[in-house]
Amino acid sequence: MSEETPRLYLATPLVDAPETFLPHLRAALEAADVASLLLRLRTSDPAEAESAIRAVAAIAQPSDVAVVVEGEADLVIRSGADGLHVTRGEEQLGGALARLSPDYIVGAGALSDRDDAMRAGEAGADYVLFGEAGADDPAPSAEDVLERTRWWAEIFNTPCVALARRLDEIGPLAEAGADFVMVGEAIWNDPRGPADAMRDAASRLAARTP
């Protein structure tokens, strides 16, 4: 287990209306230390996506929050984002690394099993994410994410991001050796609001307890 405290990686829901979402995002980012933000947009229109990414980046990047997007490599470059989160397997990962590395972050998600994670690490991904559902696979259980995080942290140097679907999963994942703990639904669906939920998440992360 790393002696350094892991950091939070905040994932947005699938955003339909960025202008409506921005105040909630600002509240969440101002409430706690966040290393990176994974931005997921519903639109497939390149101009709309670029505009939304720039609006989000204007909030996140001044606080040293890296903006990572789902989409295509060219969109990252055009929009001023910091990186790309890959969910469509080895071919997309290889193309993204060729286009973006080393100037941009390229992370690998939607990993079906250990072999997928190892291949992503060997290819040069900047991080691997455990806990995300694959295209043809259901989301793994909390126990599976915890076990895979512990296994990865003991063997590999590529940073590991572990997805916490509930706030009480944050501490165990940090204790297992995750370099970053991703939170998303647990923040946006919290009845207290995103700011209070983020403060709670940060407290659990620092304490490394559920």
Give tens-digit pLDDT for 9-53. 999 999 999 999 999 999 999 999 999 999 999 998 999 999 999
Q: How far apart are CA 130 and CA 137, in angstroms?
A: 13
Provide the sign of the torsion angle of the four alpha carbons 144, 187, 208, 168, taken in this order.
negative
Phi and psi at residue 8, to the nearest 5°: -85, 145
**Domain 7-207 is found in CATH 3.40.190.170:** no
Among 52, 81, 51, 29, CA closest to 202: 29
Let me know: does 204 contact 169? Beta carbons within 8 Å.
no
Give tens-digit pLDDT for 159-202. 999 999 999 999 999 999 999 999 999 999 999 999 999 999 99
Q: In the numeric block, which tokens belong to residue 90?
A: 């080895």
Please state the pTM of the whole predicted model.
0.95
